[in-house]
Amino acid sequence: MFSARDEILARIRAIDRPSAAPIPRDYERTRTVADPLDLLDERVADYKAIVHRVTEAEVPDSIGECLARRSVSTVAVPADVPPRWRVPSVTWVPDDPPLPLGELDTVDGVLTGCAVAIAETGTIVLDAGVAQGRRILSLVPDYHLCVVRADQVSVSVPEALARLEPGRPLTFISGPSATSDIELDRVEGVHGPRTLEVLIVG
Amino acid sequence: MGGRNPVTWLGSPVFPKAAREALTDTQLRRNLRKATTTIRTKRAGVVAELDDWERLRVAGEAVKDDVLANLDTYLVRLEEAVTARGGVVHWARDAEEANRIVLDLVRAEGTDEVVKVKSMATAEIGLNEALEAGGVKAVETDLAELIVQLGDDRPSHILVPAIHRNRAEIRDIFRKKMAEEPASDEPPDLAEAARKHLRRKFLSAKVAISGANFAVADTGSIVVVESEGNGRMCLTLPETLITVMGIEKLVPSWQDLEVFLQLLPRSSTAERMNPYTSVWSGVTPGDGPRKFHLVLLDNGRTATLADEVGRQALRCIRCSACLNVCPVYERTGGQAYGSVYPGPIGAILAPQLVDDPHDEQAASLPYASSLCGACYEVCPVRINIPEVLTHLRAEAVQAKGKRTPEAIAMAAAAWVFGDAKRYEAAQKAGSLSRLLARDGRIKRLPGPGAKWTDSRDAPAVPKESFRAWWRKNRVQRP
Amino acid sequence: MSAPRVALFATCLTDTLYPDTGKAVVRLLERLGCDVDFPLAQTCCGQMHFNTGYQEHAKPLARDYAEVFGGYDYVVAPSGSCGGMVREIHPDLCGTSPAVERTYELSEFLVDVLGLTDVGAYFPHRVTYHPTCHSLRMLGVGEKPLDLLRAVKGLELVELPQAEQCCGFGGTFALKNAETSTAMLADKMRCVQDTGAQVLSAGDNSCLMHIGGGLSRLRTGVQTVHLAEILASTEEEPWAAATR
């Protein structure tokens, strides 16, 4: 008896298929924009995320202000975020050793960095690399504060994908959790973090 | 193995009959008009932002054609890549086989409840029903799927299966089925109710089941595109993840995603990018599920691939843009199509997956179109839906044979048109219908023409055809 | 330069049911300096057969078309739908031919070949225009018919809401899915009536027969007039409603 695998492959091979033509990749690899950071700012905000532009030196203070404004007191954090991000005003809950799910569900928020951001689509990509942690870290808490450095910003989708390593677990985040399932009208806030706040550095 | 393909629902009436019933539902008409009008306008806006949109469409079409041309190669490559990264690949010839594989995998984990990410492939094979028959409860976590599941309803749209429900109806369903009822019928309150209802299930689930929007053959990466975060919950919290995907969902390389991650969100939810896209490759120690199973599903796809014209339907990335612009879909809704794949793409995909020319319901679907072409115009992978519709109509005609009243009438008409003299004689005979006319119009035609005059007057045949006039006035007699 | 030899492909529907449209095309094209012929051997492009699934009956009709219209400089059809059938489908049925390559829908011929938008017409009425699906999407005529109408003296052009939505005709679709077709028609008629136009025009008598049949049933008083008849109308010889 043939296995399903053999049979499906045999079915495909029995079909007379034309050889494919080369793929025309004459679409834009990047786009000309005056200032990618301005565009990222505008496009992230379009999703009803909160965006701030800060200098490198202002990052710790801004983190403190964001957390204070939301009255956040316990914040999960990947163990390898820059130490100066961990401002003294809140209780930091580092994910080392890995936090049990139940505990992660009780923190007020999470602070991470990112791998890449896409200005044109207002997207932040996390790849579980430095300052980002496991995927569930930026998922379970209801508030996500994310720091994006200028050198992480790509203008277009093709540019951004070229900078990513597909073998890593990747999460593309464009604004807070949302749904269009009721009358095809977008509302923010379902299962993922209902508030996304972004600090663009540079 | 074998049996009926559950892609169409058992006992569904043929399309014209189902449509007739649906058209009497004025609430449905209002809901659909509002929703499709909203999304059409938004889509046009975000598509217009990209001046290379047409080039992206052409690239998307070419990538998918490459996948279909080399499907065997890419499937084997995907299998190798997923296996190398700690995943387990299964193959399923049809719905029944896929359902059995999944049920066995779930049972092996010793659980009787699974959480599900919205997935067309699992809806197509009737996985929830099969799991239930096997004693496993499948909890839909996508908001629209949840509305359908809690309402004991059927889906009516590819992207938004509950598009036929408005906010008041959704509130009523939630009131009946949830421990804590929603605060109001405002969408944010309904979303909040769903969040509370599902939270505990996410945190305790052992097994999740998903579909896949794309799978990258080179790297073994699977891509799920979503909005609410229910997908991320299912893809990262449980210890075991089972993904069911149609064999055509491949892209050859990572770079190819740069095309589809632009085409899909703008065509689908009319956003520059959907809120969340997850990409994973096999198993990552310490991050996400410890076991990953990938079920590759045929279920009529190889039969579709064998059809030279019809195979382009396999390019589909399930964006549902064609539904949102279709004038037929907008009026009948999705359930009239009797399949999880409604609208223009459903009208060409469902009959091909069913692959039975004598299935009357499936054979009625390619006729559920005025061939206006709006679907082709918006399709991000340029599926020429009208072309496939007429091709499948020809197959349906062939299956019915030459003795149907329609086939006899068509043969007679062809005979008349085949010769200008016969044609002219028929024009003259046709002017007898003037006897039916008053004031130049006919209010009731006999026979099949009555279908016309039920709601429209028919023009009386004029005293003189154009060619009679031409002959009289312009043809120089020797 | 001698006058271009233009064959009128009247289409079976216009030939049989709407002779005034055919006469209008002749008048218009002759006024614009064309040498117009109507080859009497023409019948039908095969669209009804093809679209209903009877491709084997459509094939000989497509072959006949190539033969009948082969010897002209241009072939002009007062129909986007039949023009689309010829240009887009005939090559698949029996290969391309000079006749197919030289076939134009009326507005395309006027604008692209003759290079005209003002054809010297006069039509003192409030008009709205339904663009018809196949003109729009198979042939891509775009704004050409509207540009022609805007240049007509005395004509007040009012925009049709949701103009690009199908009227629900679709050939045998109107019979096979009569209720759905009627629902589409109802919405189209509402849009037409919302414009307050006295005349609904289009480049295709099949759609006009459908919408007009509905408007007549409801006794709306809105007249349906083919684009060719508007463009043929002049101050000296103004358009008059058909008598049947």
Contacts with C51 from chain B: Cβ below 8 Å: 371, 390, 393
CA angle C110, C113, C114 (to 5 degrees): 55
Candidates B154, B368, B366, B382; CA nearest to B267 is: B382
**Does residue A17 lie within any of the structural domains?**
no
- Cβ(A195)–Cβ(A50) under 8 Å? yes
| Residues C229, C232, C233, C239, CA torsion sign | negative
- Cβ(C95)–Cβ(C128) under 8 Å? no
Average pLDDT for B227-238? 97
Average pLDDT for B158-186? 94
**Does residue A111 lie within any of the structural domains?**
yes
Give residue C214's pLDDT.
Answer: 97
- Cβ(B194)–Cβ(B175) under 8 Å? no
Number of structural domains (chain A) is: 1
The 10s digit of each residue's pLDDT in B20-63 is: 999 999 989 998 999 899 999 999 999 999 999 999 999 999 99
Rounded CA separation B56/B256 (Å) = 11
The 10s digit of each residue's pLDDT in B433-457 is: 787 888 888 999 888 889 999 999 9
Nearest chain A CA: its distance from B401 CA (Å): 27
Contacts with B443 from chain C: Cβ below 8 Å: 217
Share of chain C above pLDDT 70, in %: 99
**For the purposes of burial, counting CB atoms within 10 Å of the CB of B26, is it exposed (0-12), middle (13-18) or buried (19 or more)?**
exposed
The 10s digit of each residue's pLDDT in B7-18 is: 999 999 999 999
Nearest chain B CA: its distance from C4 CA (Å): 18
Given a cut of 70, is residue B241 above it in pLDDT? yes
> Please, what are the domains in chain B?
54-302 (3.40.50.10420), 408-473 (no CATH)
Q: Tokens representing B48?
A: 């217009």
Given a cut of 90, is residue A92 above it in pLDDT? yes
Question: What is the three-class DSSP state of A197?
Answer: strand
ipTM higher than 0.90?
A: yes
Give residue C39's pLDDT.
Answer: 97
Domain range for A169: 33-201
Of B70, B228, B288, the CB nearest to A179: B228
DSSP B220: T
The packing angle between helices B420-430 and B405-417, to 10°, is 120
**Does residue A129 lie within any of the structural domains?**
yes
Residues 6+ apart with CB under 8 A from A144: A109, A110, A112, A138, A173, A176, A193, A195, A196, A197
Give residue A185's pLDDT.
Answer: 77
The 10s digit of each residue's pLDDT in B297-326 is: 999 999 999 999 999 999 999 999 999 999
Read off the pLDDT band of C241 (50, 70, 90).
confident
Given a cut of 60, is residue B1 above it in pLDDT? no
Rounded CA separation B46/A186 (Å) = 15
CB pairs under 8 A, 24+ apart, for B104-109? B105/B207, B105/B240, B105/B242, B105/B293, B106/B131, B106/B134, B106/B136, B106/B207, B106/B242, B107/B134, B107/B136, B109/B206, B109/B207, B109/B239, B109/B240
Instruction: Please give the mean pLDDT across all residues of chain A.
Output: 96
**Does residue A136 lie within any of the structural domains?**
yes
Give residue C1's pLDDT.
Answer: 64
The CA-to-CA distance between both ends of chain A, in Å, stands at 64
Cβ <8 Å between B280 and A28: no
Give how far the C-alpha of residue B172 lies from the chain's centroid of Cα atoms, to the nearest Å.
27
Rounded CA separation B210/B222 (Å) = 11
- H or E element, residue A92: strand A91-94
The amino acid that residue B190 corresponds to is: L
Nearest chain C CA: its distance from B328 CA (Å): 7
**Does residue A117 lie within any of the structural domains?**
yes
Instruction: Please give the mean pLDDT across all residues of chain B.
Output: 95
Read off the pLDDT band of B477 (50, 70, 90).
low
Phi, psi of B378 (to 5 degrees): -100, -15
Read off the pLDDT band of A187 (50, 70, 90).
confident
Parallel/antiparallel/unpaired status of strands A178-182 and A185-188: antiparallel
Rounded CA separation B129/B174 (Å) = 21
Give residue B446's pLDDT.
Answer: 86
Contacts with C53 from chain B: Cβ below 8 Å: 390, 393-398
Question: What is the three-class DSSP state of B46?
Answer: helix
Read off the pLDDT band of B3 (50, 70, 90).
confident
Q: Tokens representing C54?
A: 């009877």
Cβ <8 Å between C244 and B464: no
The CA-to-CA distance between both ends of chain C, in Å, stands at 40
Cβ <8 Å between A118 and B273: yes
Read off the pLDDT band of A138 (50, 70, 90).
very high
**Does residue A21 lie within any of the structural domains?**
no
Average pLDDT for C84-99? 97
Average pLDDT for B162-176? 94
Cβ <8 Å between B65 and A5: no
Of C136, C137, C179, the CB nearest to B23: C179
CATH number at residue A152: 3.40.50.10420
Rounded CA separation C162/B52 (Å) = 26
pTM: 0.96
The 10s digit of each residue's pLDDT in B253-301 is: 999 999 999 999 999 999 999 999 999 999 999 999 999 999 999 999 9
Closest residue in B to A5 (Cα) is B91
**Does residue A22 lie within any of the structural domains?**
no
Given a cut of 70, is residue C101 above it in pLDDT? yes
The 10s digit of each residue's pLDDT in C44-66 is: 999 999 999 999 999 999 999 99
Read off the pLDDT band of B248 (50, 70, 90).
very high
Out of A122-126, B280-284, B324-328, C237-241, least confident range: C237-241
Give residue C243's pLDDT.
Answer: 64
Given a cut of 90, is residue A19 above it in pLDDT? no
Average pLDDT for C192-201? 98
Average pLDDT for C150-167? 98
Given a cut of 60, is residue B478 above it in pLDDT? no
- H or E element, residue C67: helix C55-68
Candidates B108, B68, B72; CA nearest to B88 is: B108
Average pLDDT for B208-217? 98
Give residue B475's pLDDT.
Answer: 84
Contacts with B265 from chain A: Cβ below 8 Å: 121
Q: Tokens representing B226?
A: 């979503």
Share of chain B above pLDDT 70, in %: 99
Size (chain B), residues: 478
Phi, psi of B459 (to 5 degrees): -75, 140
Share of chain A above pLDDT 90, in %: 91
Residues 6+ apart with CB under 8 A from A47: A122, A174, A175, A176, A178, A188, A196, B275
Rounded CA separation B274/B320 (Å) = 14
> Please, what are the domains in chain C?
5-113 (3.40.50), 126-232 (3.40.50)
Candidates B229, B288, B117; CA nearest to A173 is: B229
- Cβ(A23)–Cβ(B63) under 8 Å? yes
Contacts with A176 from chain B: Cβ below 8 Å: 275
**Does residue A4 lie within any of the structural domains?**
no
